[in-house]
A and B are shown apart, each in its own frame.
Chain A
Amino acid sequence: MPNQTSSLSYAHQTVEEAPSKVSTRGVNVFYGAKQALFDVDLDVPVNHVTALIGPSGCGKSTFLRCINRMNDVVEICRVEGDIRLDDGDIYDLDVVELRARVGMVFQKPNPFPKSIFDNVAYGPRIHGLASNRDELEEIVFTSLEKAGLIKEVRDRMGEPGTGLSGGQQQRLCIARAIAVNPEVILMDEPCSALDPIATARIEELIDELRQIYTIVIVTHSMQQAARVSQRTAFLHLGELVEVGDTEDIFTNPRDERTQGYITGRFG
């Protein structure tokens, strides 16, 4: 909580002024013998949205999953290199603590087969964030409010989360991630399973959320990257080709591969 109020001040700063929340140096990822990422160096500015773009199979999702060590679950996956959260090596943290500080929203909405309330209350419950029912309800309602879902679900908190529409489910998953009060939220193509209206709602939400959280979003849609992010990184075949302010990347790409991708010549 305290570092969150202080971090609020960074949101209006330009990308260059904002300090790095997450920084990686020389990240290599292997799936068995196959190398998926090559020496990725990236700084994620605090209270801004960083978009990872690139053609399918370029390693965007793999990189995203390095930040909260979700790749640990994949047996054959090996991660090398230095990944820091607030200047601390993430491998010095316990994985549970890391994931409490770095939340994640997945490509396909994956609410638990529990009630809407229990979905959002899941994180606070497992981490013991609420000491009584009132506090828990407070967290759940605030999270749903931040996720812009409260109006739609206020009267149906006991209904299953799986009964909501796709867009509502994804906002429920965002509320679920927020309820743990993380510092960073990773989003893995959060709109790819949604229709344009639901997508627009999520994009608005992302822009609001960056006031409080640092967001890294993987997206297939360059328009989406242009709309929601302040900084964009372009990956190609496992290499970080170019990273810069979103505006610069889209108007004035330095690398010809970036140019080729954003103008639609491949991807």
Chain B
Amino acid sequence: MTDTPVSPSRSDTAQAVKAGLRRRYAAERRFKAYGIAAIGVALLMLGILFGTIIANGWSAFRQTYVQIDVLVDAAEIDPDGNRDPKILSRGDYEKLIKLSLREIFPDVKKRKEKRELYDLVSSGAAFDLRDDVMADPSLVGQTVSLWVPASDDIDMFMKGYISAEVAEDERRVSDKQIARIESLREQGRISTGFNLRFFTGGDSREPELAGIAGAALGTLWTMLVVLALAFPLGVMSAVYLEEFAPKNRWTDIIEVNINNLAAVPSIVFGLLGLAVFLNFFGMPRSAPLVGGLVLALMTLPTIIIAGRAALKAVPPSIREGALGLGASRMQMVVGNVLPLAMPGMLTGAIIGMARALGETAPLLMIGMVAFIVDLPKNPLDAATVLPVQIFLWADSPERAFVERTSAATIVLLVFLILMNLGAVLLRKKFERRW
């Protein structure tokens, strides 16, 4: 045995390694660069998405208001003088608003000019005035100074979406109206302020009166129904299938079908809801209860699959420890396994709920796409939900609905972020190390 066969081969190895090092590290750097590029593209897209939505939508949170001094003429709204609420509610408040506008611009005489003048303020102004008077009948006979919403076209002009440079017949605000706005501005009678109505009102055909509260409440009711149904059902199914069910052909079939169900297009669930809940059980149309039922069915497989994965991830040593001490199967599941699986189950539930939150198609089938002005007071009232409201507004021709569409999207995203935040906090609360 000489040492010659060993030493050359060793130096060969070293040389080969050295020669390849540069290439290896270059490959690693390239790989990292691809990863960073991928994340960069994703972040850029997200940035563009949020950027455009916020840029388009933020102006909907502000609204142009016009100050008018209304003489609440007793002769017009309360001829008998007894402040009867029934009579008061039927008064012609629109006439009072028109009169007060004419007072600001006494030169207006012709019919067309009058109409243009009245179009400065929203048709909702009369309702605002009526509500004020109904709440405080002592206003009758007095002159009330009131900030009323401007009409959507004036609002758009004030926000700069309608340019005065465009030829008059190509824009929705006439030269005369622009002159009046200027004169209102000089008198300090026009200004923009926080658009409270957007957050407290229901839907409306008039953009300046349309609010998101109806859809937000509808979403809230629907989500409550989904949570109340899908979470307990999903957790119970997952626990039974994972911990108690015998492993045989039937449970295999059930498992395959749950996985299939998770992949079923959502509109199919809408058809199911229409056929079963509305036509067979005769449940109310457009109701968050039915929407919640449909979305709960859609969410259930997601929650079951996530729940089973969370249960599978609990280390067997914990189960054995409990069983070895003589715990019954249920004591083991409830006392040891579920607490450890809870964070994963909650995450699954929130992911499923987040998907349900953004769902439009199945709700169209059960009538939640209707135009509904009133706020839903319970899950049986007719309602719509945020994504459907976005769809409805996006479909509307008025320029002012463009910014409201984006604003509604912002509200939907805030809902989503709040839900995810809730998921993170719940995880933190329930998470235990082992």
Chain A residues at the B interface, C-beta cutoff of 8 Å? 68, 70, 73, 75, 96-100, 103-104, 106, 108, 110-113, 122-123, 126-127, 160, 162, 173, 176-177, 180
Contacts and interface: CB of A to CB of B under 8 A. Distances in A.
Contacts of A126: 325-328, 331, 335
B317 interface: yes
B328 A96 contact: yes
Nearest to A108: B317
Contacts of A108: 317
Given A75-B247, A112-B336, A103 B324 contact: yes
Contacts of B321: 106, 110-112, 173, 176
Contacts of B434: 112-113, 162
B340 interface: yes
Contacts of A123: 325-326
Given A113-B433, A113-B434, A162-B434, A122 B325 contact: yes
Given A106-B317, A126-B335, A162-B433, A112 B326 contact: no
Most-contacted residue by chain A among B315, B318, B319, B326 (CB, 10 A): B326
B320 interface: yes
Contact of A99 (B319, B325, B339): B325
A208 B325 CA distance: 21
Interface string B237-248: 000000000010
Main secondary structure of the interface of A (DSSP, over half): helix
Contacts of B318: 110, 112-113
Interface of B: 247, 315, 317-328, 331, 335-336, 339-340, 432-434
Contacts, number: 70
Contacts of A68: 324
Contacts of B326: 96-100, 123, 126-127, 180
Given A110-B321, A122-B335, 15 more contacts: A70-B320, A73-B319, A73-B323, A96-B326, A96-B328, A99-B323, A99-B326, A106-B317, A106-B321, A111-B321, A123-B326, A160-B433, A176-B321, A180-B325, A180-B326
B432 A113 contact: yes
Contacts of A70: 320, 323-324
A99 B324 contact: yes
A187 to B, nearest CB: 11
10 contacts: A75-B247, A98-B326, A99-B324, A99-B326, A110-B318, A110-B321, A112-B336, A113-B318, A123-B326, A160-B432
Contacts of B320: 70, 73, 104, 106, 110
Nearest to A97: B326
B247 to A, nearest CB: 6
Nearest to B324: A104
Closest 8 CB pairs of A and B: A99-B326, A104-B324, A100-B326, A110-B317, A113-B434, A113-B432, A110-B321, A123-B325
A160 B247 CA distance: 35
Contacts of B323: 70, 73, 99
A106 B324 CA distance: 9
A110 B320 CA distance: 9
Given A110-B317, A110-B318, A113-B340, A177 B335 contact: no
Contacts of A97: 326
B333 to A, nearest CB: 12
Contacts of A75: 247
Nearest to B339: A113
A150 B434 CA distance: 22
Contacts of A180: 325-326
Contacts of A110: 315, 317-318, 320-321
Nearest to A176: B325
A189 to B, nearest CB: 13
A213 B320 CA distance: 21
A204 to B, nearest CB: 23
A96 B434 CA distance: 25
A73 B323 CA distance: 9
A75 B315 CA distance: 17
A127 B331 CA distance: 10
A215 to B, nearest CB: 15
Most-contacted residue by chain B among A108, A126, A162, A180 (CB, 10 A): A126
Nearest to A186: B324
A106 B321 CA distance: 8
Contacts of B328: 96, 126
Nearest to A125: B335
B432 A122 contact: no
A177 B324 contact: yes
Contacts of B319: 73
A68 B433 CA distance: 29
Most-contacted residue by chain B among A99, A111, A162 (CB, 10 A): A99
A70 B324 CA distance: 7
